[in-house]
Amino acid sequence: MAGKTITVKLKKSTIGCTDKQKANVRGLGLRKTGTEKTLENTPAVRGMIKKVIHLLDIKEN
Protein backbone atom coordinates (compact mmCIF):
# COMPACT_ATOMS: atom_id res chain seq x y z
CA MET A 1 0.00 0.00 0.00
CA ALA A 2 3.05 2.27 0.06
CA GLY A 3 2.71 5.13 -2.38
CA LYS A 4 -1.02 4.67 -2.90
CA THR A 5 -3.18 7.77 -2.99
CA ILE A 6 -6.87 8.65 -3.13
CA THR A 7 -8.32 11.65 -4.94
CA VAL A 8 -11.49 13.02 -3.37
CA LYS A 9 -13.77 15.65 -4.89
CA LEU A 10 -16.54 17.47 -3.03
CA LYS A 11 -19.61 17.01 -5.24
CA LYS A 12 -22.30 18.25 -2.84
CA SER A 13 -22.54 21.17 -0.44
CA THR A 14 -22.19 20.75 3.31
CA ILE A 15 -25.26 22.91 3.94
CA GLY A 16 -27.59 20.90 6.16
CA CYS A 17 -24.84 18.54 7.34
CA THR A 18 -23.97 18.02 10.97
CA ASP A 19 -21.01 19.85 12.50
CA LYS A 20 -19.05 16.58 12.64
CA GLN A 21 -19.58 15.98 8.92
CA LYS A 22 -18.48 19.54 8.12
CA ALA A 23 -15.38 19.01 10.26
CA ASN A 24 -14.56 15.81 8.36
CA VAL A 25 -14.85 17.58 5.01
CA ARG A 26 -12.56 20.37 6.25
CA GLY A 27 -10.17 17.78 7.67
CA LEU A 28 -9.89 16.22 4.21
CA GLY A 29 -8.81 19.63 2.92
CA LEU A 30 -11.98 20.42 0.96
CA ARG A 31 -13.70 23.80 1.12
CA LYS A 32 -15.98 24.62 -1.80
CA THR A 33 -18.07 22.32 -3.96
CA GLY A 34 -15.95 21.02 -6.83
CA THR A 35 -12.61 21.16 -5.05
CA GLU A 36 -10.28 18.15 -5.34
CA LYS A 37 -7.56 16.89 -3.06
CA THR A 38 -5.12 13.99 -3.38
CA LEU A 39 -4.50 12.24 -0.06
CA GLU A 40 -2.53 9.26 1.22
CA ASN A 41 -4.44 6.00 1.49
CA THR A 42 -4.35 5.52 5.27
CA PRO A 43 -6.92 4.07 7.67
CA ALA A 44 -7.50 7.54 9.18
CA VAL A 45 -8.29 9.09 5.80
CA ARG A 46 -10.48 6.13 4.85
CA GLY A 47 -12.49 6.58 8.05
CA MET A 48 -13.03 10.27 7.37
CA ILE A 49 -14.16 9.51 3.82
CA LYS A 50 -16.57 6.85 5.07
CA LYS A 51 -18.36 9.41 7.28
CA VAL A 52 -19.11 11.76 4.35
CA ILE A 53 -19.04 9.40 1.36
CA HIS A 54 -22.44 10.68 0.20
CA LEU A 55 -20.86 14.11 -0.45
CA LEU A 56 -17.75 12.90 -2.32
CA ASP A 57 -16.50 11.44 -5.60
CA ILE A 58 -13.55 9.11 -4.96
CA LYS A 59 -10.81 7.86 -7.30
CA GLU A 60 -8.04 5.50 -6.21
CA ASN A 61 -4.69 6.21 -7.84
How does the average pLDDT of the chain come out, rounded? 94
Sheet-wide strand order for 56-60:
36-40, 5-10, 56-60
Considering only CA atoms, which of 32, 26, 41 is closest in space to residue 52? 26
Q: What is the pLDDT of residues 8-33, one digit of tens each?
A: 999 999 999 999 999 999 999 999 99
48 vs 61: CA distance, rounded Å: 18
Q: Would you say residue 2 has pLDDT above 80?
A: no
Domain boundaries, the chain: 5-60
Confidence of residue 61 (pLDDT cuts 50, 70, 90): confident
Confidence of residue 48 (pLDDT cuts 50, 70, 90): very high
Assign 22 to helix, strand or coil: helix
- Determine the average pLDDT of the residues in 4-10: 96
Q: What is the pTM of this model?
A: 0.88
| Amino acid at site 36 | E
- CATH value of 5-60 in 3.30.420.310, 3.40.50.410, 3.30.1390.20, 3.30.830.10: 3.30.1390.20
